Structure 1
């Protein structure tokens, strides 16, 4: 073992020396130096796990991030010995391990370097707090860009940044505030058109340096635990994203109503006020599916209770709201009030379920109820107990839960002291190791309880803090943001970053949680949020009594806001299909342009433009009074959604931005499904599904997924997958459909609207049967509209 002398209070830095022995067992390869062991595990042809034991013994191989369904599936792999290196190979990669110092070089099968150690793995004793600080440094390749790391509120490309993961209640955070709420130690590298990812599965405080300290080095390290990371090869960035989600897990499908519009405020009370809000939505014909109850619905902020004065009949209230098409989501925090007359506190004390300090005293801290204690969610017995507490809420009719304050946040203290002890599924650790998974495991237990007691219906969960893999059970939002134009831009960047970090089901507090937006800012935020998987307005109480409902800013803005929330509901078939792609393959719902056009260097720093799913490109209006905006379009042809004007991509264009429009483009060749207008997702059965088809003379594939929108029948095959292929020419339009059908929809017909035809058709042929086109079928702007049976297979027009 080579040792570097250091006067640092952390002790000397240690580096591995030469390899003395090695062995292979199945898909494991172990390399031994004087003290260090390197274990390389071939997970798949494009996924390699690297794990280091600093002083000859590994820690427990345990993770709260990885999916139980992860299967190791390498097709072919082996090892070769060379004079200076060992080479582990798969069908896609070559991993070279230097004999003299364990440094790693990873190339593709042609030998092109993808990722390369700089100093590689090294460590030092953490003399102040115990354990070891685990380091790894990589060379920055020419022109390399970096993405990922969850909710960081900074430029999309992380080159030149240093960032850390240590879940923090960052109230009123600003651009470049760090750390924030979530802890996602996963990043992407992109250089020379080749993408890869590194997932550093370590729950201690982790730090990532993307060339800030030294321009030619990218480093990541943790103040404890083990150096344990997965290398994921693309070469496409979207492939990396899918592989990362294969490791950390995919979500179940949410109920369709959870993709509708959510209205929240701190706080709606009493029950008569909640009813007024619901009534106002229906009266004004503004679509909405969800109303939230913040902490004031509880009795003295005691979780799992109701304020009997303000909510004397919660079941009756929820039933009344349900009759109008509203679902109710309630907040639950981790802090349990110290109160000997409070059943939840009594149970927790009796069974030793609450966190303790190092000397055995209860971990106590002030939160909303006053003095509180906190469940140890790292204990599986506590998680099971916590799950059981949701029975009463589910029986009352609550359909979703909002986990807040779970970084964990504690007034005055900020968070738990590091000496707090945790079970950690039998390991017994300090809070240093458990901090970044505290909220993660709270939400896991919450989700398990709601799922159990709401069966056969699907539940909904939203959490503020989490670790990698939380997408398996929860959505997130970007936290306590501010009513400002900068925060509108941050909302777009943060949601894109979270999506490519495995957590697509995300959104921001529309209009800002802190402060009061004007009508223009709120309207522009609504327009962006239409294209975020989670669409929720949320705002704080304030002395002026300002409300942040869609009608709060006057008729001019209400009209535009209503138009866009209505558009959200019309696009639900497309949004739900995109969620199905995410749940099935791990494909991010939101895709930065660098992830769909990575060989185009002009996209590498684009943050205003992003794709939602396969076919929609959005560029939100991010400045007050903006009347025109420059938009970068990737290669290909694009239709402007509002007027069908066609643009060629791989360049920047300019579009007008009146208040009632947002730059929105549809990929040429796409089939875009739409619902008719509705006020909530279960209002009436859909009688006709619209298919907007955008003409292009290249072959383009689209997909539509359908199921009941609730319950779990889809897991037993009760769903439809309809695949479209448009293959048209300048003289003929042609659309072919293939499908798996095992779910009976309420509609029998499609209204097909073909946009951008380069010719005026006279004949429509549906499954071989010619049908004359009438004048009413021929709309303006080269658009044709007609109705066909749902089970059609081929359509052509000449």
Structure 2
């Protein structure tokens, strides 16, 4: 498949690139009128190119809710934005201090450290993307800058138009649209920047607990008997799996919201079969609706006037999987309401989650791989009002996910929606998780998994992961085993592959790889309490689930470019081997980090990442289970690693696993503390937040020291002491 952009776009991009380089090297040649800077929050300044640009700025897609006018910004605010024009286009520039490291930009290829890179925020069907892909499926016009001393600031270029970001020597952004505001958040640490970013752009959704388990998918499990076979194999082989996904072939002629009458004649029965065995079911929905009179979704959409229109007013028609298709205008609230109601039968037959794919929007048989930029959207006023597709292309997938999430919540109000989207924009984390798109089964893509997920987390999207094993191309047994070991420890863990490839289930590569996958997924199962605690922290504080190691010491320059290791929370270090012949990364963080294991012999498997627990941390684990249950763990294991003062602590968040009662205080956050006194380690458990009473359940304590592992068993109402 030819992934190159059209020649005209390539030439235009090259011209802009040359002009950007000239500006970076020689300085600005065309400044705007006097810029305006207003403080819209503590340490948050919004810069406008001019007073006129400020008056025109009345809406924001990324910021929620839209902040009103602010007071004049302090004269000593440490970051300054310069506005100019490059190639006739609106541009903004920030000069960076020596030693400043740049991150973010959402879904981008490696490296993690973005200094010296050029990226375009323009959602694109980037099948088989690689190191030189300038834009992928999502657009995050956001930079996280970490100064040499560890203080940090975040930069939001508040535009939905195509945006080129050049970080070769400083921060330069050039938009295809009008003048755009630039919002800067200045804080003492990168963590504090992300907390403020969540307050500004909206906090991520809290997923149902089952979403923390392992997900199995392929393009496609077809017919329904194959789905049942896959489910039964997981249970028969004692390999944990919580979710099975249905790709596009379940549909009748690729028509969204339909089921093939031959291969999937009883979708309710299939969902029931999966539920009885502890699985959840996620089904795909695409935005392209087949232009087929008599197809009820097409007829209803036509009656409700929901389609994106050409500049002449006629509904736009583009080819996708079903053939000629029309496309809902998700930028309009009434259309999103109509769209949400289309899920009624889905919810009625027991669908647990929805996968929105192809929503850049992808269109076949066009040079641009999308619809014409002159198409018209009847957008809501708070999105910017009616306009052309060049303005709303980047938020099409975001607004589709929004309509899906809102519709599911309306139709099934007792449950939390779970939506996965391929295309998104900064702020879309409020409604959907994501994955890193159609990767390839290569060692480079395995290595890329870490940096891609970390930069998404540093851009406000905490729930992300790659297609484990690689979507495109064959995987070797060693590559698949290594990828499962890593992928099982990323926030969103899903195996997936395309048609025409060999099977990529955990048992598809022989007994040795199957055993590695079993160990990896039992690790995942045991870590579900920790992942769910981190998901709650993401939803309340805006911190990512997977974190770069420089979070342990933002001022240490040696940690700034580490992209083959990461933290889960602030206390668990993951050290994967991401190259064919690579060794475990030698990452040196401040303090003590003790090697741990989660199950018998898992730390002896060379294809599983090494795990280290920070001195001063307590890690709560659940039991190894075949699937994730809604209820809190019936028993808890506490892994304890004392700091130099003989202390340790850790948190565990628990609620009903689904539903909304947690918003009314129906949850429990337990703080576990350990202190060493006279050669014995004493532990306590205190509920520090939530209306739930303390738990009383079996507890196993494992204390890791330089002399080995020490175990005590008791109950959580009175935690047992441990004597090393």
Q: TM exceeds 0.5? A: yes
Tell me if 1:321 matches 2:268. Answer: no
Q: 1: distance between equivalents of 2:189 and 2:53?
A: 37
Q: 2: distance between equivalents of 1:523 and 1:121?
A: 50
Query: What corresponds to 1:455 in structure 2?
Result: 413
The 3-state SS of whatever aligns with 1:250 is coil
Residue 674 of structure 1 and its aligned partner are, at CA, apart by: 1.0
Tell me if 1:424 matches 2:421. Answer: no
The 3-state SS of whatever aligns with 1:433 is helix
**Aligned 8 A contact 2:650 2:671 in 1:** yes
Deviates more, 1:55-64 or 1:387-396: 55-64
Compare relative contact order (CA 8 Å, sep 6+) and give the higher one, 1 or 2: 2
- Unmatched runs of 5 consecutive residues or more in structure 2: 1-17, 20-27
Deviates more, 1:690-699 or 1:379-388: 690-699
Give the direction of change, closer, same or farther, for the CA distance of 1:179–1:493 in structure 2 (3 Å limit).
same
**Aligned 8 A contact 1:325 1:683 in 2:** no
Tell me if 1:753 matches 2:702. Answer: yes
Give the direction of change, closer, same or farther, for the CA distance of 1:521–1:441 in structure 2 (3 Å limit).
same
- Unmatched runs of 5 consecutive residues or more in structure 1: 1-6, 18-32, 80-87, 90-94, 97-105, 108-114, 127-132, 645-655, 759-780
**Aligned 8 A contact 1:736 1:795 in 2:** no
Tell me if 1:695 matches 2:642. Answer: yes
Structure-to-structure mapping, 1:270-419, within 5 angstroms = 270-413=223-366, 414-419=369-374
Residue 39 of structure 1 and its aligned partner are, at CA, apart by: 4.0
Tell me if 1:203 matches 2:169. Answer: no
Q: 1: distance between equivalents of 2:632 and 2:186?
A: 44
The 3-state SS of whatever aligns with 1:602 is helix
Cα-to-partner distance string for 1:290-319 (whole Å, 9 max, x where unaligned):
111111111100000110111111111111
The 3-state SS of whatever aligns with 1:490 is helix
* Higher share in helix: 2
Cα-to-partner distance string for 1:341-393 (whole Å, 9 max, x where unaligned):
11111111122211111122321111000010111111111111001111110
Residue 681 of structure 1 and its aligned partner are, at CA, apart by: 1.4
Q: 1: distance between equivalents of 2:86 and 2:632?
A: 64
The 3-state SS of whatever aligns with 1:331 is strand
* Higher share in strand: 1
Residue 140 of structure 1 and its aligned partner are, at CA, apart by: 2.4
Query: What corresponds to 2:132 in structure 1?
Result: 176
Q: 1: distance between equivalents of 2:136 and 2:161?
A: 15
Counterpart among 698, 712, 718 of residue 785 in structure 1: 712
**Aligned 8 A contact 2:437 2:466 in 1:** yes
The 3-state SS of whatever aligns with 1:531 is coil
Q: 2: distance between equivalents of 1:452 and 1:225?
A: 37
Q: 1: distance between equivalents of 2:597 and 2:201?
A: 39
**Aligned 8 A contact 1:696 1:729 in 2:** no
Counterpart among 7, 11, 15 of residue 31 in structure 2: 15
Residue 791 of structure 1 and its aligned partner are, at CA, apart by: 3.0
**Aligned 8 A contact 2:105 2:140 in 1:** yes
Q: 2: distance between equivalents of 1:73 and 1:791?
A: 52
Structure-to-structure mapping, 1:66-77, within 5 angstroms = 66-68=63-65
The 3-state SS of whatever aligns with 2:156 is strand
Q: 2: distance between equivalents of 1:741 and 1:349?
A: 48
Q: 1: distance between equivalents of 2:68 and 2:552?
A: 28
Cα-to-partner distance string for 1:183-241 (whole Å, 9 max, x where unaligned):
01111112222211101110001111112xxx3x3211211133212111122011111
Cα-to-partner distance string for 1:531-565 (whole Å, 9 max, x where unaligned):
211100010010xx611111000111101100110
Counterpart among 604, 620, 632 of residue 576 in structure 2: 620
The 3-state SS of whatever aligns with 2:177 is coil
Residue 122 of structure 1 and its aligned partner are, at CA, apart by: 1.9
Structure-to-structure mapping, 1:495-534, within 5 angstroms = 495-534=453-492
**Aligned 8 A contact 1:738 1:793 in 2:** no
Q: 2: distance between equivalents of 1:703 and 1:565?
A: 23
**Aligned 8 A contact 1:185 1:468 in 2:** yes
The 3-state SS of whatever aligns with 1:498 is helix
Give the direction of change, closer, same or farther, for the CA distance of 1:475–1:685 in structure 2 (3 Å limit).
closer
Tell me if 1:41 matches 2:38. Answer: yes
Query: What corresponds to 1:770 in structure 2?
Result: none
Give the direction of change, closer, same or farther, for the CA distance of 1:125–1:158 in structure 2 (3 Å limit).
closer
Counterpart among 502, 518, 529 of residue 546 in structure 1: 502
**Aligned 8 A contact 1:621 1:657 in 2:** no
Give the direction of change, closer, same or farther, for the CA distance of 1:292–1:338 in structure 2 (3 Å limit).
same
Query: What corresponds to 1:706 in structure 2?
Result: 654
Query: What corresponds to 1:30 in structure 2?
Result: none
Give the direction of change, closer, same or farther, for the CA distance of 1:67–1:792 in structure 2 (3 Å limit).
farther
The 3-state SS of whatever aligns with 2:56 is coil
**Aligned 8 A contact 2:53 2:180 in 1:** no
Tell me if 1:719 matches 2:672. Answer: no
Tell me if 1:638 matches 2:593. Answer: yes
Q: 2: distance between equivalents of 1:643 and 1:536?
A: 21
Query: What corresponds to 1:743 in structure 2?
Result: 692
Query: What corresponds to 2:564 in structure 1?
Result: 608
Query: What corresponds to 1:667 in structure 2?
Result: 614
Query: What corresponds to 1:478 in structure 2?
Result: 436
**Aligned 8 A contact 1:505 1:534 in 2:** yes
Structure-to-structure mapping, 1:122-271, within 5 angstroms = 122-123=84-85, 126=88, 133-193=89-149, 194-211=151-168, 215=169, 217-271=170-224
Cα-to-partner distance string for 1:267-300 (whole Å, 9 max, x where unaligned):
0111111111111111111111111111111110
Q: 2: distance between equivalents of 1:73 and 1:360?
A: 36
**Aligned 8 A contact 1:685 1:746 in 2:** no
Residue 135 of structure 1 and its aligned partner are, at CA, apart by: 1.2
Give the direction of change, closer, same or farther, for the CA distance of 1:136–1:71 in structure 2 (3 Å limit).
closer
**Aligned 8 A contact 1:238 1:596 in 2:** no
The 3-state SS of whatever aligns with 1:575 is helix
Residue 737 of structure 1 and its aligned partner are, at CA, apart by: 3.4
**Aligned 8 A contact 1:154 1:490 in 2:** yes
Tell me if 1:491 matches 2:444. Answer: no
Query: What corresponds to 1:653 in structure 2?
Result: none
Aligned residues: 689
Q: 1: distance between equivalents of 2:268 and 2:445?
A: 37
Cα RMSD after superposing both structures: 2.5
Counterpart among 468, 474, 485 of residue 426 in structure 2: 468
Q: 2: distance between equivalents of 1:54 and 1:169?
A: 38
